[in-house]
Amino acid sequence: MDNSEGKNIQVESDHLTKQEQHNNEMARTEKAQLRFQKLSFVMSTLSCVFMAAMLIIVICLVTYIVPKVNTIYNSTMVTLANMEKITNDLNEANLSGTVKNINDLTLQATGDLHNTMEKLNSVDLETLNDSIQRLHDIIEPLAKLFSIGR
């Protein structure tokens, strides 16, 4: 039974060697898993920190931008209301009729000015001056007679 005992010892030795190899492999695997878990924890922590920072930035931007957007919206609404009022006023003003009336008045004034200029041009200034001189010659002796001249 020496031979059988030797085989048993050999099998047991091989079994122990395989078990040690398996245990060593399991220890390496556990170390690798632990390293990956630590790395995963660090990455999760960093991700959480970055998300918190982004949330703070978004909240700050929203608190800064929302009032500005509301102000712009209110200004836009006031401007639109004013534009609507102006549009209604222009529709009520009847601009085409007003322009036609102004055009008619301009044409009438031009015609009247033309007639006036014709009448002024038709006046004989020499005859008018001669008549004024004769009137002066007639009134001067009367003025001396009544002493009004001096």
Q: Both 104 and 124 in a single domain?
A: yes
Q: Both 80 and 20 in a single domain?
A: yes
Q: Confidence band (pLDDT; 50, 70, 90) for 150?
A: low
Q: Both 1 and 33 in a single domain?
A: yes
Instruction: Mark which of 50, 75, 93 sits at the end of a domain.
Output: 93
Using one digit for the tens of pLDDT, what is the confidence trace for 5-42?
767 777 788 888 889 999 999 999 999 999 999 999 99
Q: The pTM is what?
A: 0.40
Q: Both 31 and 7 in a single domain?
A: yes
Q: Both 118 and 57 in a single domain?
A: no
User: What is the distance between the alpha carbons of residues 9 and 4, in angstroms, rounded to a whole number?
Assistant: 9
What letters, b where the CB count within 10 A reaches 16 and e where it falls short, cover 41-78? eeeeeeeeeeeeeeeeeeeeeeeeeeeeeeeeeeeeee
Instruction: Mark which of 93, 110, 138 sits at the end of a domain.
Output: 93
More confident call, 56 vs 126: 56
Q: Both 125 and 86 in a single domain?
A: no
Q: Both 42 and 71 in a single domain?
A: yes
Q: Both 119 and 77 in a single domain?
A: no
Using one digit for the tens of pLDDT, what is the confidence trace for 83-122?
999 988 887 777 777 788 888 899 998 999 999 888 888 8
Structural contact between residues 149 and 143, judged by C-beta atoms closer than 8 angstroms: yes
For 73, the domain range is: 1-93
Instruction: Mark which of 45, 64, 93 sits at the end of a domain.
Output: 93
Give me the count of residues in the chain. Answer: 150
Q: Both 44 and 71 in a single domain?
A: yes
Q: Both 70 and 115 in a single domain?
A: no
Q: Both 45 and 112 in a single domain?
A: no
User: What is the distance between the alpha carbons of residues 80 and 92, in angstroms, rounded to a whole number?
Assistant: 18
